[in-house]
Amino acid sequence: MSDPTVADTRRLNSKPQDLTDAYGPPSNFLEIDVYDPQTVGVGRNRFTTYEVRMRTNLPIFKLKDSIVRRRYSDFEWLKNELERDSKIVVPPLPGKALKRQLPFRGDEGIFEEAFIEERRVGLEQFINRIAGHPLAQNERCLHMFLQDESLDRNYIPGKVQPSSDPEARCA
């Protein structure tokens, strides 16, 4: 056998890319916005809710555009459910800010505008990180959090099966 002195470094052959694939919308579109903080209730029974809007083209989510209202404790619930049921390392939530809930503060405590904004940013980062995780996308609690009108805390935890999806079958 001849002993080639220079290796062949030419590219391997590959299928030319379909132009609709090349220029079409990517299959990984997932954006979640956490915005519009509203403080509801009066006096000591006040709490803040945020609008959580998800836009996606991932087949695993039933709705491609969904809007729900959630409060901080709902995010905590989601974090706990995922920590218990899924194998992923759940990212941290913005702080609970217990100090801000103590009386005799000079300011509005947890209803300070700057604090709410800081918390909103943290919640948005949290939910985007979680929702993009392939293993979290199978969890029923995530789907309920993002797309059901309200959280049923007595739900039965479980996995979501992806609906039959032509794109998932490989060439």
Partner 1 sequence: MSFFSFGQSAEIDVVLTDAETRKKAEHKTEDGKKDKYFLFYDGETVAGKVNVTLKNPGKRLEHQGIKIEFVGQIELYYDRGNHHEFVSLVKDLARPGELTQSQTFDFEFTHVEKPYESYTGQNVKLRYFLRATVSRRLNDISKEMDIVVHTLSTYPELNSSIKMEVGIEDCLHIEFEYNKSKYHLKDVIVGKIYFLLVRIKIKHMEIDIIKRETTGTGPSVYHENDTIAKYEIMDGAPVRGESIPIRLFLAGYEMTPTMRDINKKFSVRYYLNLVLIDEEERRYFKQQEITLWRKGDVVRKSMSSQATIGAQRFEGSKSSVSSMLDLKCRA
Residues contributing to the site for partner 1 (CB under 8 A) = 1, 3, 7-12, 14-15, 17-18, 21-22, 24, 26-28, 30, 58-60, 88-89, 128-129, 132-135, 137, 162, 165, 167-168, 170-171
Q: Give the nearest distance from C-beta 170 to partner 1 in angstroms.
A: 5
Alpha helices in the chain (DSSP H): 19-23, 72-85, 113-131, 140-147
Q: Give the nearest distance from C-beta 33 to partner 1 in angstroms.
A: 16
| Unique residue bearing structure tokens 């009386």 | 103
Neighbour-count burial of 5, counting CB atoms closer than 10 A to its CB (0-12 exposed, 13-18 middle, 19+ buried) = exposed
Rg over CA atoms, the chain: 23
Q: Give the nearest distance from C-beta 160 to partner 1 in angstroms.
A: 11
Residue 54 corresponds to which tokens in the numbers above?
Answer: 């998800």
Task: Give the nearer residue to partner 1 in terms of CB position, either 53 or 133.
Answer: 133
Task: Give the nearer residue to partner 1 in terms of CB position, either 146 or 151.
Answer: 146
